[in-house]
């Protein structure tokens, strides 16, 4: 099935494929993926599960919903410090700009508002130490929330937790349109859910794929489905009353790759 999806050969119309009924979500995708592990919480088990989506907006909303399953008494909210440059000029009295960037997803930067709770799963969005395995995309479990540091642990290959690691706030700069944004924030984001593209290279026991917005790039559906180790571990959310979804495959690329 995966090979046929990846090569654009699955079903009568390979461009819009029928999702196998046994893979269609029955309703609450968060409960289907994480529900049975929250009572006896084990970070190593949670790390082997994830919900994938095509849009960052969907990912952010799902992450916030999963976070609500954790103890609200441990919650901390961290607000970033921003500076905005236009050329060599620092924009003064940038109230309207600031309010805009507080809620907007800016590629290459962590969120302005970072809401975390103890035991949450987060992902690094920058390389901190390649030697220690703290790279962009590394998933970690939060064990403590301090004023100036996040205390996290990695999951070792054998399923045990590593020693505690301190994650500091760092300063990151990116260009957004004509404005250069400099943000001082912890370089992490919630990672119960992630974009399909960000999930590449990972294999998991249970995967939810939310396709409220269909795949929009070559091989994206194949990447999403192949994150799961089995058909039993794959659950797909489709828009109401739909049973099919787009599968974008450029066969010319596949032909070039075989040459």
Q: Is beta strand 165-168 parallel, antiparallel or unpaired with respect to 76-79?
A: unpaired
Buried b or exposed e, range 211-221, using 16+ CB within 10 angstroms: beebbeebbbb
Supply the pLDDT for residue 234: 97
Supply the pLDDT for residue 238: 96
Is residue 107 within 8 Å of 75, Cβ to Cβ? no
Is residue 123 within 8 Å of 194, Cβ to Cβ? yes
Q: pLDDT tens digits, residue range 27-69? A: 899 999 998 888 888 999 999 999 999 999 999 999 999 999 9
Give the DSSP letter of residue 54.
S
93 or 213, higher pLDDT: 213
Q: pLDDT tens digits, residue range 212-255? A: 999 999 999 999 999 999 999 999 999 988 999 999 999 887 77
Please, what is the average pLDDT of the chain? 91
What confidence category does residue 14 fall into, taking pLDDT thresholds of 50, 70 and 90?
A: confident
Supply the pLDDT for residue 94: 63
What confidence category does residue 259 fall into, taking pLDDT thresholds of 50, 70 and 90?
A: low
Is residue 185 within 8 Å of 29, Cβ to Cβ? no
Percent of the chain with pLDDT over 70: 96
Supply the pLDDT for residue 253: 74
């Amino acid at each position: 099935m995966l090979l046929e999806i990846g090569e654009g050969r699955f079903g009568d119309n390979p461009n819009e494929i029928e999702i196998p009924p046994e893979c269609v979500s029955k309703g609450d995708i968060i409960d289907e993926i994480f529900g049975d592990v929250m009572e006896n919480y084990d970070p190593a088990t949670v790390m082997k599960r994830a919900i994938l989506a095509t849009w960052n907006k969907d990912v952010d909303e799902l992450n916030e919903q999963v976070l609500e399953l954790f103890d609200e008494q441990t919650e901390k909210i961290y607000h970033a410090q921003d500076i905005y440059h236009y050329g060599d000029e620092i924009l003064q009295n940038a109230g309207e700009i600031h309010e805009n960037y507080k809620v907007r997803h800016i590629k290459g930067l962590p969120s302005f508002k970072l809401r975390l709770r103890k035991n949450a799963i987060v992902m690094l969005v920058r390389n901190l130490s390649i030697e220690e395995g703290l790279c962009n995309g590394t998933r970690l479990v939060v064990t403590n929330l301090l004023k100036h540091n996040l205390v996290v642990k990695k999951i070792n290959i054998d399923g045990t937790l590593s020693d505690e690691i301190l994650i500091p706030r760092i300063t990151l700069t990116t260009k957004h349109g004509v404005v250069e944004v400099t943000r001082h924030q912890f370089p992490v984001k919630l990672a119960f859910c992630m974009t399909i593209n960000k999930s590449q290279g990972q294999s998991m026991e249970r995967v939810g794929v939310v396709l409220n917005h269909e795949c929009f790039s070559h091989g994206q559906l194949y990447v999403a489905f192949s994150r799961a180790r089995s058909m039993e571990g794959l659950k797909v959310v489709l828009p109401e009353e739909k049973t099919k979804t787009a599968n974008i495959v450029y066969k010319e690329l596949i032909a070039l790759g075989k040459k």
